[in-house]
């Protein structure tokens, strides 16, 4: 599999009413199509209805420790909700992944001969519709961890290889978003098969729809099969204006260039004690984070003890036992666990993988039950350390 | 899966074999040192798999008990031995099950992981080994390695401290090293009993009696981090460069291949970047409490 740029650069115009045709085409290519669906008060990727239609008019309200979605009368936007708790991470790095099937012989007790076989995830092809630029950037970050390092992970590779990604650029940011400062959005630049920009007007006769671009051979083939007209100049201008306004309107930012040095210079700082007073160590931030990769690997033996499954399951550096070895815990206090999370995410991640572990999606701010905001924590440390 | 134009997948070929797959190995010998320390000599059931397990002293394997769990254990045998020896301290759920096993029983092995002690770099230099507590297993294989190739190393000094005399396992090994030419062995305990004949106090109190030429000495340290920090402070004062001081670190490990995230210390994954680090490399991250 190789990442090849589409040969056809011409942006196309997909009218809003035509979106089900795109869904039908993806299904015709054997993909299960998932898109942003409001469920239990949040947005999540779920199966689209048989009609291939997405209900329009949903909007989100986000803030530190606050998330609401509601339907707005008069709004028709299909991708109006910026993001929800779930990123696309679970589709490649599964929350729970059986890795190995172990078969033991019939003798009782440990020490028996055994046979170990890898368990591969099923090869279902999934098309994700509505992937934001931050989540595409996060996927590239996870690729570096699981595929490009010394040991590539076959389970991740199998899930990754079957994805078809339809990105949707953001022309509206949530108050918790800061992708512009992390240089990951709001416009999707790479790593997608198709990229859409939703516009309320700009189509023929001022109609609503999407500017559609291919980012891979498969995406180009799909666009060609839809036989769409070239996007009108008015739409391209509207698209550009939308991205610029979105980036300019972001309410939060991280000082990306200063980051590793700033945190490394302040491994001891009173702010770590202060944030530990508020942090519940609940691990929500790491669960909603699209790049966090920490996990446990454990045995789940069968009741008859003739077999066992080795299972990988998401864990978190906020778990009390995360840095624990036989009776010794390297990070027994919340102060140390919060520091590990933030310093890893924003600084040591760059040493390890050549990019930040933060893509600016803002989920850790929204979904923190006590509203801890990493941009505020960094600013508090930066305030005591003039550049 | 239908063959179609390629989608925006990641570049690079994917090796199909899981690095997490354990290889069955039979216990061929078990030697016990006191109640909670045992050396297991292991032989892979498939002899053809042995070349994949070639290792450097200081590297470790993941030792697996099917249905129970996996633990990271350094390899204590000589790299030239056909069998692989692991000296295992009984400290948790998985090692408690391993303790009950003996010759004829089968365990899983995968590895070797991490890096080894700088035994090539130390050739024709003096070597000072500082160890504390029961943490001497990762370095005892390296000491044996040097004595088996005695002509290739200069003066060898072993400085070993234990809390109480009963913690001195492998006592015969220390006695054998002590009889070697051009070798100094200093043993010390915090809590001497009536039969203890060696030094008393913590290991760092005995540095003064060790002669060392900082320009031709390589230092290998293994043990509790607080001991390592004190030892580094003294060695710096004696003029030994941080490039010549190597420490072996211990952290929680689930995968050993840099995926699970548990073993991080600053930018390092102890499993794949270590477990042995020159102190220079750890820099500001070594010695920060709770990092």
Question: 3-state secondary structure string, A104-133?
Answer: ECCCCCCCCCEEEEECCCCCCCEEEEEECH
What average pLDDT score do residues A223-236 get?
95
Mean per-residue pLDDT over chain A, rounded? 94
Q: Please write the tens of the pLDDT for every residue from B35-58.
A: 788 999 999 999 999 999 999 999
3-state SS, residue B97: helix
Contacts of B207-213 spanning 24+ positions with Cβ under 8 A = B207/B159, B207/B231, B207/B234, B207/B235, B207/B238, B210/B128, B210/B157, B210/B159, B210/B184, B210/B186, B211/B155, B212/B126, B212/B128, B212/B157, B212/B238, B212/B240, B213/B126
The pair phi, psi for residue B29, each rounded to 5°, is -160, 145
User: How many other CB atoms sit within 10 Å of the CB of residue A96?
Assistant: 10
Residue A106, exposed/middle/buried by CB under 10 A (0-12, 13-18, 19+)? exposed
Would an 8 Å CB–CB cutoff place B108 in contact with chain A?
Answer: yes
**Residue A2, pLDDT score:** 41
Helix or strand run (H / E) with residue B177: helix B171-178
Are the C-beta atoms of residues B168 and B196 closer than 8 Å to each other? no
What average pLDDT score do residues A26-43 get?
94
Beta-sheet strands, E only, within chain A: 12-15, 32-39, 42-47, 58-63, 66-71, 96-104, 114-118, 126-131, 163-168, 194-199, 209-214, 295-301, 307-314, 324-325, 328-329
B13 pLDDT exceeds 60? no
Q: Please write the tens of the pLDDT for every residue from B181-210.
A: 999 999 999 999 998 889 999 888 898 888
Angstrom distance (rounded) from CA A45 to CA A79: 12
Q: Please write the tens of the pLDDT for every residue from A92-135.
A: 999 999 999 999 987 777 899 999 999 988 879 999 999 999 99
Cα–Cα–Cα angle for A138, A140, A146, nearest 5°? 100
Are the C-beta atoms of residues B159 and B203 closer than 8 Å to each other? yes
Which residues lie below 8 Å from residue A107, measured CB to CB, with a gap of 6+?
none
Q: Which two tokens stand for residue A93?
A: 């790095």
Are the C-beta atoms of residues A374 and A185 closer than 8 Å to each other? no
Q: Strand A32-39 to strand A295-301: parallel, antiparallel, or no bridges (unpaired)?
A: unpaired
* Chain B positions in Cβ-Cβ contact with residue A3 (cut-off 8 Å): 6, 8-11
In this prediction, residue B231 has a pLDDT band, given cuts at 50, 70 and 90, of very high
DSSP A230: B
Mutation choice for B interface testing from A108, A128, A151, A192 by most B CBs within 10 A: A151
Question: CA–CA distance from A82 to each of A38, A89, A174, A230 (Å)?
Answer: 12, 16, 6, 27
B11 pLDDT exceeds 70? no
Are the C-beta atoms of residues A270 and A335 closer than 8 Å to each other? no
* Chain A positions in Cβ-Cβ contact with residue B255 (cut-off 8 Å): 295, 297
In this prediction, residue B6 has a pLDDT band, given cuts at 50, 70 and 90, of low
In this prediction, residue B10 has a pLDDT band, given cuts at 50, 70 and 90, of low
B34 pLDDT exceeds 90? no
DSSP B215: G
* Chain A positions in Cβ-Cβ contact with residue B88 (cut-off 8 Å): none
In this prediction, residue B7 has a pLDDT band, given cuts at 50, 70 and 90, of low
**Residue B1, pLDDT score:** 37
Angle between helices A133-146 and A154-161 (to 10 degrees): 150
B92 pLDDT exceeds 80? yes
Q: Hey, which residues 233-262 in chain B have their CB within 8 Å of chain A? A: 250-252, 254-255, 257-262
Lowest mean pLDDT among A22-31, A104-113, A185-194: A104-113
DSSP A56: -
Mutation choice for A interface testing from B261, B273, B288 by most A CBs within 10 A: B261
Cα dihedral A66, A67, A68, A72 in deg (nearest 10): 110
Q: Please write the tens of the pLDDT for every residue from A9-20.
A: 799 999 999 999
Q: Please write the tens of the pLDDT for every residue from A345-361.
A: 999 999 999 999 999 99
Angle between helices A334-343 and A374-383 (to 10 degrees): 90
Q: Which two tokens stand for residue B6?
A: 């390629």
A322 pLDDT exceeds 70? yes
* Chain B positions in Cβ-Cβ contact with residue A297 (cut-off 8 Å): 20, 70, 254-255, 260
Angle between helices B171-178 and B137-148 (to 10 degrees): 30
What average pLDDT score do residues B260-274 get?
96
3-state SS, residue A246: helix
* Chain B positions in Cβ-Cβ contact with residue A308 (cut-off 8 Å): 66-67
CB contact under 8 A, B251 and A112: no
Nearest CA-CA distance, residue A235 and chain B, Å: 25
**Which residue in A102, A157, A163 is closest to B7 by CB distance?**
A163
Q: Report which listed range, A66-75, B30-39, B264-273, is most confident.
A: B264-273
Q: Please write the tens of the pLDDT for every residue from A290-305.
A: 999 999 999 999 988 8
DSSP A348: I
In this prediction, residue B171 has a pLDDT band, given cuts at 50, 70 and 90, of confident
Question: CA–CA distance from B96 to each of A3, A184, B7 (Å)?
Answer: 49, 49, 49
Beta-sheet strands, E only, within A155-230: 163-168, 194-199, 209-214
**Residue B2, pLDDT score:** 40
**Residue A211, pLDDT score:** 97
Of A122, A199, A197, nearest to A166 by C-alpha is A197
Question: CA–CA distance from A387 to each of A265, A381, A384, B96 (Å)?
Answer: 12, 11, 10, 53
Angstrom distance (rounded) from CA A231 to CA A76: 20
Q: Which two tokens stand for residue A186?
A: 């709001």
In this prediction, residue B135 has a pLDDT band, given cuts at 50, 70 and 90, of low
Q: Which two tokens stand for residue A321?
A: 């036992």
Are the C-beta atoms of residues B77 and A311 closer than 8 Å to each other? no
B62 pLDDT exceeds 90? yes
Nearest CA-CA distance, residue A163 and chain B, Å: 7
B60 pLDDT exceeds 70? yes
What average pLDDT score do residues B266-285 get?
95
Q: Hey, which residues 55-74 in chain B have their CB within 8 Å of chain A? A: 65-70
Lowest mean pLDDT among B17-21, B167-171, B214-218, B256-260: B167-171
B15 pLDDT exceeds 60? no
Of A76, A169, A167, nearest to A127 by C-alpha is A167
């Amino acid at each position: 599999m190789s990442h090849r740029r589409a040969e056809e650069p011409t942006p196309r115009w997909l009218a809003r009413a035509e979106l089900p045709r795109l869904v039908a085409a993806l299904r015709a290519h054997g993909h299960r199509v998932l898109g942003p669906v409001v469920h239990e008060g949040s947005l999540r990727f779920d199966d689209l209805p048989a009609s291939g239609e997405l209900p329009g008019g949903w909007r989100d309200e986000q803030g530190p420790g606050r998330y609401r979605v509601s339907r707005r009368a008069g709004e028709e936007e299909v991708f109006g909700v910026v993001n929800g708790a779930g990123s696309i991470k679970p589709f490649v790095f599964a929350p729970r992944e059986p890795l190995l099937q172990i078969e033991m012989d019939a003798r009782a007790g440990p020490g028996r001969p055994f046979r170990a076989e890898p368990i591969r995830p099923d090869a279902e092809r999934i098309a994700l519709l509505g992937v934001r630029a931050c989540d595409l950037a996060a996927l590239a970050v996870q690729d570096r961890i699981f595929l490009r390092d010394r040991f590539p992970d076959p389970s991740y590779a199998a899930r990754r290889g079957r994805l078809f990604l339809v990105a949707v650029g953001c022309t509206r940011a949530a108050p918790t978003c800061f992708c512009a400062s992390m240089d990951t959005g709001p416009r999707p630049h790479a790593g997608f098969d198709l990229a859409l920009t939703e516009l309320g007007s700009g189509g023929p006769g001022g109609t609503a729809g999407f500017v559609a671009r291919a980012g891979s051979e498969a995406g180009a083939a799909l666009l060609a099969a839809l036989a769409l007209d070239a996007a009108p100049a008015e739409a391209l201008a509207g698209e550009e204006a939308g991205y610029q306004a979105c980036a300019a309107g972001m309410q939060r930012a991280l000082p990306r260039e200063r980051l590793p040095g700033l945190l490394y210079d302040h491994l001891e700082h009173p702010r770590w004690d202060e944030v530990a007073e508020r942090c519940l160590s609940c691990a929500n931030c790491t669960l909603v984070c699209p790049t966090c990769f920490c996990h446990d690997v454990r045995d789940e033996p069968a009741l008859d003890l003739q077999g066992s499954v080795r299972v990988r399951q998401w864990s978190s550096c906020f778990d009390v036992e995360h840095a624990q070895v036989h009776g010794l815990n390297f990070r027994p206090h919340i102060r140390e666990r919060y520091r590990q999370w933030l310093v890893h995410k924003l600084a040591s991640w760059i040493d390890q993988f050549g990019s930040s572990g933060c893509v600016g999606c803002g989920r850790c701010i929204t979904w923190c039950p006590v509203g801890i905001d990493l941009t505020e924590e960094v600013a508090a440390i930066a305030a005591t350390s003039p550049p | 899966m239908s063959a179609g134009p390629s989608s925006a997948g990641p570049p690079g070929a994917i090796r199909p074999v899981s690095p997490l797959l354990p290889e069955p190995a039979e216990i061929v010998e078990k030697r016990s040192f006191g109640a909670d320390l045992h050396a297991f000599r292991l032989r892979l059931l498939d002899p053809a798999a042995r070349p994949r397990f070639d290792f450097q002293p200081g590297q470790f394997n993941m030792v697996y008990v099917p249905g129970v769990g996996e633990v990271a254990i350094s390899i204590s045998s000589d790299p030239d031995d056909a069998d692989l020896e692991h000296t295992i301290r009984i400290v948790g759920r998985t090692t408690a099950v391993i303790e009950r096993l003996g010759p004829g029983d089968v365990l899983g092995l995968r590895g070797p992981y991490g890096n080894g002690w700088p035994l090539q770099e130390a050739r024709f230099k003096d070597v000072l080994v500082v160890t504390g507590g029961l943490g001497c297993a990762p370095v005892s294989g390296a000491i044996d390695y040097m004595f088996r190739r005695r002509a290739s190393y200069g003066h060898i000094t072993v400085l070993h401290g234990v809390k109480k005399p009963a913690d001195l396992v492998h006592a015969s090994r220390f006695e054998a090293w002590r009889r070697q030419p051009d070798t100094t062995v200093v043993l010390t305990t915090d809590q001497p009993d009536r039969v203890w004949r060696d030094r008393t106090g913590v290991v760092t109190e005995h540095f003064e009696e060790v002669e060392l030429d900082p320009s031709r000495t390589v230092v290998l340290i293994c043990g509790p981090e607080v001991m390592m920090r004190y030892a580094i402070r003294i060695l710096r004062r004696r003029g030994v460069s941080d490039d010549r001081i190597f420490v072996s670190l211990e952290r929680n490990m689930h995968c050993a291949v840099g995926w699970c995230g548990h073993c991080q210390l600053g930018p390092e994954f102890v499993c794949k970047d270590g477990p042995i680090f020159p102190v220079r490399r750890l820099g500001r991250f070594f010695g920060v409490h709770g990092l």
